[in-house]
Structure 1
């Protein structure tokens, strides 16, 4: 049987590198591990961590094609972050002038959650533990 340890990282291609870099580092608070400019591709690669765990590779490419990103489209559905207080998290997102849907209740776990979007409309979920 295959033996997996954990998810190593999630790769995200953004349409505007500076806006997405700001969102993931300044708004969500992920820490920069390293930032590399790949001259041959005219592309940035930004490695980000959450609580000292490598988690996201943020890429820039010139003219990346648009991707359907509604939560029920095929492919990656959303990126979810665990939080301790859903109300404080939602208030913070709203204070940053970002969309935040109303808080919902997971019908299976009775845990609270809500969605926002990153700068490229990738659904971002915050899930209260």
Structure 2
């Protein structure tokens, strides 16, 4: 059996690097570890951390094909962040002009959650601690 330690990172390919960089750093508050432009690939690679832990690689490529988020299909479904105050989180996002679904309750855990979409319509969930 494998002996996995943790999820190392999540890779996200964006269509508008400036817009996505702003969203992940200024709206979600992730911090930049390293930003590299790879000339041979015409691609940025932005390494982002949450509370000092490396979690996301944000890539840009020229004209990446759009990946459908809806209807739901096979593959990675969404990215979820745990938050301490679900209502405060949603209020901040709404004040930042980010469309947010209503807060719902998970019928199995009784925890509250809601979804938004990143600039490329990737579903992002906020889940109550």
TM-score for the superposition, normalised by structure 1 = 0.98
Gaps of 5+ in 1: none
Identify if the C-alpha distance between structure 1 residues 71 and 118 changes in structure 2 by more than 3 Å, giving closer, same or farther: farther
Identify if the C-alpha distance between structure 1 residues 29 and 71 changes in structure 2 by more than 3 Å, giving closer, same or farther: farther
1:78 touches 1:123 (CA, 8 Å); kept in 2?
yes
Residue 84 of structure 1 pairs with residue 81 of structure 2: no
Root-mean-square deviation (CA, aligned residues, Å) is: 0.8
Shift of 1:71: 6.9
1:71 touches 1:77 (CA, 8 Å); kept in 2?
no
CA distance in 1, matches of 2:71, 2:80: 12
4+ residue segments displaced more than 2 Å:
none
SS of equivalent to 1:47: strand
Equivalent pairs counted in the alignment come to: 129
2:107 maps to which residue?
A: 107
1:75 maps to which residue?
A: 75
Higher alpha-carbon deviation: 115-124 or 72-81: 72-81
Residues 11-26 of structure 1: pairs in structure 2 closer than 5 A: 11-26=11-26
Identify if the C-alpha distance between structure 1 residues 32 and 74 changes in structure 2 by more than 3 Å, giving closer, same or farther: same
1:70 touches 1:77 (CA, 8 Å); kept in 2?
no
CA distance in 2, matches of 1:81, 1:37: 27
Residues 1-129 of structure 1: pairs in structure 2 closer than 5 A: 1-70=1-70, 72-129=72-129
